[in-house]
Amino acid sequence: MQCLRKRFQFSWLCKASDNASRAKRKRAGKVNVGSLFSGIGGIIKSNACNSIMVNKYTYQPPCSKEKLIEFYVKDNMSQVEIAQSLGVSQKVIWKAMIRFNIKTRPQIKRNQFGEKNSSWKGGKTIHYNGKYIYQLAYGHPKAKTFPYVFEHILVMEKRLGRYLNDGEIIHHKNGNRKDNRIENLVLTSRAEHFSLHGRNKKGQMLRGGDVIAQ
């Protein structure tokens, strides 16, 4: 009988000590990692889950709702294309669409890409800053991770009959970077392009490198 009392007393002390330690860790903002069957009919959350919850409430969309709608609806870009254009993952774009309550399109079949897709627009889209036109160019040296290349580059390369060399820059004569007619494009070096963009007629630096209309 005395042995049972000592065993019960020891068990009670261990349980009390464990509860006190758990409460102390909880006050410090730490949560133990437990198995799926820890506790009574519940799950003990881990630090990893806790960090996900923090990210859920501190998450910031990579662009505004209006800009995301422009990419997804007006320009008909996929979530992957938008993500690559903004330099984020597809999951970030997916979260932003949920946050902004933007209805997603149904997934298309594998044989409906490109011209076979009813939403095909000639393979052109607008760069996220709204200043340049992208054109689909599979296999192009500049399309290694993103299958689009600036249209003005493709237009000049077609005229030259070769790919651009490192250090060669295309300048838009009239300052309109969406006007990619060959007569509006000039092939320059980096130094020449900087002088065209960086200074006005008086030799003063322009704010933001504005284009000088010629």
Task: Report pLDDT for 152.
Answer: 93
Decide: pTM greater than 0.85. no
Task: Report pLDDT for 147.
Answer: 79
Q: Amino acid identity of 9?
A: Q
Beta strands in the chain (DSSP E): 124-126, 133-136, 148-150, 168-172, 185-189
| Each residue's pLDDT tens digit, 154-183 | 999 999 999 998 889 898 888 888 899 999
| Each residue's pLDDT tens digit, 25-66 | 555 554 444 444 344 444 333 333 333 333 555 678 888 989
* Domain boundaries, position 58: 54-110
153, β-bridge pairs: none
| Domain membership flag for residue 41 | no
Query: Closest Cα to residue 181, out of 165, 167, 170?
Result: 170
Q: Is the pLDDT of residue 14 over 70?
A: no
| Domain membership flag for residue 139 | no
- Which residue bears the tokens 């009574």? 40
Greatest C-alpha distance within the chain: 103
| Each residue's pLDDT tens digit, 82-133 | 888 888 888 899 889 888 888 877 654 444 444 444 444 557 777 767 788 8
What's the structural domain count of the chain?
1
| Domain membership flag for residue 80 | yes
Q: Tell me the DSSP string of 115-148.
A: GGSTT--TTEEE-TTSS-EEEE-TT-TT-SSSSE
The secondary structure of residue 87, as a DSSP letter, is T
Instruction: Give CA angle at 211 (207, 214), nearest 5°.
Output: 140
| Domain membership flag for residue 208 | no
User: Measured between alpha carbons, how far is 60 from 88 in angstroms, rounded to an integer?
Assistant: 12
| Domain membership flag for residue 76 | yes
Angstrom CA distances, 50 to 28, 32, 69, 77, 127, stand at 13, 11, 31, 34, 36
| Domain membership flag for residue 148 | no
| Domain membership flag for residue 154 | no
| Domain membership flag for residue 66 | yes
- Environment class of residue 177 by beta-carbon count within 10 Å: exposed (0-12), middle (13-18) or buried (19+)? buried
